[in-house]
Structure 1
Amino acid sequence: MLEQHQQAPQFSVKNQFNETVNLSNYLGKKNVVLYFYPKDDTPGCTIEANQFTQLAEEFAKADTVVIGVSKDTCASHTDFINKYGLKVDLLADEDGKLCESYGVWQEREKNGVKSMAILRSTFIINKQGELVDVAYGVTPEGHAQEVLEKVKNL
């Protein structure tokens, strides 16, 4: 698992428009909130995405871009964004490499059955590409507001 003050792992992944997004695109320009979530259009993931969307202007004022990541496809992300009017980019980490590089692809146990899944987690990356906040196993409700407060203090 990653820790504060280390360099954020680089990535190059397609977003909902099938456009490649690289962390390096933001270096020196914007802070990045990179949040990982299990699945498009599920209850907790929808709460989290909607709350980040409600605060999108505040994040923009704080010179910060918010990017969600799951293993869903670009088409699934587009449907999710359109259904809820989301104002965040969503990356399609279909091969799971981004999830693995950030340590969020983990074994979980649900109803006595073990499986691999994305652990809901959020990383705040400053303009120098350094992890300034690392949060594994977050709760969706109110999380976007907590992240915004941290970003405002950068």
Structure 2
Amino acid sequence: MTERLSPGDEAPNFALPTDTGDTLTLADLRGKKVVLYAYPAAMTPGCTKQACDFRDSLASLQAAGYEVVGISPDKPAKLAKFREHDALTFPLVSDEDKKVLTAYGAWGEKQSYGRTITGVIRSTFVIDEKGRIEHALYNVKATGHVAKLRRDLGLD
């Protein structure tokens, strides 16, 4: 089991390839509030629903000062297809070796259809402008999570 983050912890830095072929680092986003969400696999039903919910809420999240970044172990080429297929308007980063997911406590054992497996633990992290964790939410649901997050952030 990987160690989970808590509010006040320093967010682990990262430099990861994106769906566009660029590299995105947490340091690039310093000075902005960031919603980093970890999802298991691009173009699967739950992950698509969650990504589209973030896409549909992006304007209001950005108006409140938040940038959204999705992270999964998918290859950048698959992320590019995901972004194009579902008209996603925020960066998707690839963590193929799962080091960043592990650092955030979003890789480890989880239950799936009654079995224990190792994989991405669907999670969301709200990171403040100084790079500290404001919220660390683990085992979130794909459906309805963005609406709940918006309420928790006082946006609704």
Band the TM-score falls in, shorter-chain normalisation: over 0.9
User: Over aligned residues, Cα RMSD in angstroms?
Assistant: 1.5
Amino acid at match of 1:19: D
What does residue range 17-32 of structure 1 map to in structure 2 within 5 Å?
A: 17-28=20-31, 30-32=32-34
Provide the secondary structure at the position in 2 that maps to 1:55. Answer: helix
Distance of aligned partners of 1:79 and 1:121 in 2 relative to their CA distance in 1, 3 Å threshold: same
5+ residue gaps, structure 2, are none
Matched-pair contact (CA < 8 Å) for 1:3–1:131 = yes
What does residue range 112-127 of structure 1 map to in structure 2 within 5 Å?
A: 113-127=115-129
User: Does 2:32 correspond to 1:4?
Assistant: no
What is the aligned partner in structure 1 of residue 139 from structure 2?
137
Write out per-residue CA displacement over residues 3-58 of structure 1, whole angstroms, 9 at most, x where no aligned residue.
Answer: 11111111111110121111011112x10000000000111101100000001100
Provide the secondary structure at the position in 1 that maps to 2:102. Answer: helix
Residue identity (%): 32
5+ residue gaps, structure 1, are none
What is the aligned partner in structure 2 of residue 14 from structure 1?
17
Distance of aligned partners of 1:3 and 1:84 in 2 relative to their CA distance in 1, 3 Å threshold: same
Taking structure 2 as the reference length, the TM-score comes to: 0.91
Taking structure 1 as the reference length, the TM-score comes to: 0.92
What is the aligned partner in structure 2 of residue 108 from structure 1?
110
Give me the whole-angstrom Cα distance separating, in 2, the residues matched to 1:146 and 1:109.
Answer: 22
Distance of aligned partners of 1:109 and 1:144 in 2 relative to their CA distance in 1, 3 Å threshold: closer
